[in-house]
Amino acid sequence: MEFTTEELAPIAEQMARISVQKLNAAENRQIMVLEEGIRQGLMELGRQVMARSLSQAEEEMERELPCQCGGTLYYQRRREAKIESLFGWTCYKRSYYAECQCGKGKAPMDDEFGLEPGEITPGLGKLLALAGSGLAFGESRGWIKEFLVLELSENSIRKETQGFGQFQADCEEKWKAQCQNQAYLQERLRMETERPERLYGSLDGAHVRIEDPEEEEKWREVKTGCWYQVEPVPDSQQRQRHRKKAEIGQQALRAKDQQYYGDIQEVDDFEPLFWATGCRAKADLAQELVFLADGAKWIWRLVETHFPNAIQIVDWYHAEERLKKVSKDAFPNGEKRHTWLEDTRTALWWGNTAFVIRACDALAHRSEEASAALTYFRNNQHRMHYDRFREQGYMIGSSTIESACKQNVSHRLRCSGAQWTVEGARLTAKARAAWLSHNDDWETLCSLRAGLPLTA
């Protein structure tokens, strides 16, 4: 619904006259005084327009209506209700029906607009969920007050945010059920014509502290995933870190069209979500699937189970970090440490993992870090052909998933003063992942909150 300039002009003229009168009567003629006054006036105007619109929007009244129980509801009167909207608490009147044998009543207009008397409207709920998925609930309350001129409780923001997270969880259950249905998968394979040329996937885990007396574990892992595509960084947008990559023969790449997901679950329980989100991103249909992650065994087990043809790459920076730890542990002498690190790092950069393995093996008897690194490089040798990967134009750093963990877990779930139950943390994380994703997930949740039917 939109209003034209012509439709609003008479109202604007009248408000302008009132605003000037109040400004002239004020102690200080300042632009901030004018701005705040107009904003407060518009809020009150919006509240009144909202109330009158709802009271006048009802279609022709019926004498009786069918009840869900199978009986009949009879018109009673125009009954008042109160809702909390973007303009504050708003009262309106609508037709109310009752006298069915089941004892229940009904206001058809409430059903039509998805209104619950005494509760928050879908429009306000969407903004509260957005605020709560980005900021601590207490901090969100302050922002809402400043931006919307509304006093709301932390619990209201928490409820809306985690409600959006529950909508996302419900959607994920539907995806998982679909992707376990062979008939659905076969039909999708037959009908799908648009297939990604090159798609990336990444997984990682980050921990959140749980303050729940019923939970023995104080820290739980939030498994976080992302499906995305990659594009070169334009010269005009390259920063120093991008130019450094070019100096060592690595193309400056960045992620685009990210689709985030996550949950607090054990690996076996998380596995269906990994597969279902992959199907949504068309990972199983991609002409080329590249999976980037650290050396965690649970990640590569999932990849090999569901996407055995994927090109597997261990994040270069994790591998390099292993070499740094070995050099610090094995060599107290700075010069020897530097030489060993440069030799092994150069060998790794050019895909010579055999050299790196021999170098770690030679130190394993006197260095625990070297012993651990030896196992790490042996297990991931086939994922470390960095010379070939660069040649093919693949991204070799997992900064995309690390950014996802920072945005979803560190920034939101581990912010100062945050206290979580497991369910509160997982639902908040799901709401935030939907907002951060570059697809229609957030709009889908907004439609569900408003009670609107979803498109196929």
d(CA 375, CA 369): 10
Pick the residue with more confidence: 6 or 239?
Answer: 6
d(CA 79, CA 114): 17
Structure confidence at residue 250 (pLDDT): 67
**3-state DSSP call for residue 37?**
helix
Structure confidence at residue 455 (pLDDT): 47
Mean pLDDT estimate for the chain: 91
User: Which is nearest to 141 in space by CA: 132, 133, 372?
Assistant: 132
CB atoms within 10 A of CB 445: 24
d(CA 188, CA 375): 41
User: Which is nearest to 119 in space by CA: 147, 150, 149, 159?
Assistant: 159
Structure confidence at residue 346 (pLDDT): 95
pLDDT tens, position by position, 379-422: 999 999 999 999 999 999 988 999 999 999 999 999 887 889 99
Structure confidence at residue 415 (pLDDT): 86
Structure confidence at residue 213 (pLDDT): 77
Domain-wise residue ranges, the chain: 7-55, 168-315+397-449, 318-388
d(CA 326, CA 340): 9
Across 180-187, average pLDDT: 91
- Is the entire prediction scored with pTM above 0.85? yes
Please list the residues that pair with 231 across neighbouring strands.
254
pLDDT tens, position by position, 119-141: 999 999 999 999 999 999 999 99
Q: Tell me the two tokens of residue 188.
A: 């999708």
Structure confidence at residue 247 (pLDDT): 55
Half-sphere exposure of 306 (CA within 13 A, CB side): 26
pLDDT tens, position by position, 210-227: 987 777 778 999 999 999
Rg value, the chain, Cα = 29
CB atoms within 10 A of CB 51: 19
Query: What whole-number percentage of the chain has pLDDT above 70?
Result: 96
- Are 450 and 272 contacting, i.e. CB atoms less than 8 angstroms apart? no
pLDDT tens, position by position, 264-319: 999 999 999 999 999 999 999 999 999 999 989 999 999 999 999 999 999 999 99
Start-to-end Cα distance in the chain: 24
Across 331-346, average pLDDT: 92
- CB neighbours of 259 closer than 8 A, spacing ≥ 6? 226, 227, 228, 277, 280, 281, 437, 438, 439, 441
pLDDT tens, position by position, 26-85: 888 889 989 999 999 999 999 999 999 999 988 778 899 999 999 999 999 999 999 999
Please list the residues that pair with 293 across neighbouring strands.
314
Structure confidence at residue 218 (pLDDT): 87
pLDDT tens, position by position, 77-119: 999 999 999 999 999 999 999 999 999 999 999 988 889 999 9
- Are 425 and 264 contacting, i.e. CB atoms less than 8 angstroms apart? yes
Across 147-171, average pLDDT: 95
Beta strands 289-293 and 199-209 are parallel
pLDDT tens, position by position, 343-370: 999 999 999 999 999 999 999 999 999 9
